[in-house]
Amino acid sequence: MRSRLGLALVFAGIVGLCGSVGGLNARPAPVAPDESKPSTTADEKVPTFKADVMPILKTSCVGCHGAGKKKGGVDVSSYESVMKTVKANDADKSKLVKSVLGQGAKLMPPKNGLPEAQVAILKAWIAAGAKND
């Protein structure tokens, strides 16, 4: 009875050992993190004039196109004055967009234009009706 139990324990030990070794070998190769998912982009929500558009104009344009200086007669320091360069719902026909792309108007800010992401914000805002929101 006693020896049988001993044998059983040894047997169980061997099985256990083999089992764990087998388990190690059977483990699947580590999976690389999935980077194929498209990242969510900002243009999923419509930009607003106050939160998105005005900060861009303030940073990049108002120094030359504000209440003090109105280079080329252009003022982008308020909604009303910005709208003189905007055709609501038609970004491509808006001077504001043409100027930051340098297409059909002088490139603004001069020599540099705006980063693509900021141009996209201006376009999306105009395409959605250029509201004073």
Q: Binding segment for ligand HEC among 16-24, 39-47, 55-63, 123-131 (CB under 6 A)?
A: 55-63
Q: Which stretch binds ligand HEC (CB under 6 A): 4-12, 21-29, 32-40, 92-100?
A: 92-100
Per CB under 6 A, the list member of 47, 52, 53, 65 interacting with ligand HEC is 65
Residue 121 within binding range of ligand HEC, rule CB under 6 A:
no
For position 19 contacting ligand HEC by CB under 6 A, the verdict is no
Q: Does 94 bind ligand HEC (CB under 6 A)?
A: no
Q: Are 38 and 68 in contact (CB under 8 A)?
A: no
Q: How far is the CB of 36 from ligand HEC (least distance, A)?
A: 35
The CA distance from 114 to 107, in Å, is 9
Pair 75, 69: CB distance under 8 Å: no
Look at residues 101, 116, 99 and name the one whose alpha carbon lies nearest to residue 65.
99
Cβ atoms of 54 and 60 closer than 8 Å: no
In terms of Cβ atoms closer than 10 Å to its own Cβ (0-12, 13-18, 19+), residue 62 is middle
Determine if 55 is a binding residue for ligand HEC (CB under 6 A). no
Tokens found for residue 71 = 């280079």
* Contact set with ligand HEC (CB under 6 A): 60-61, 63-65, 71-72, 74, 76, 85, 95-96, 99-100, 105-106, 108-110, 114
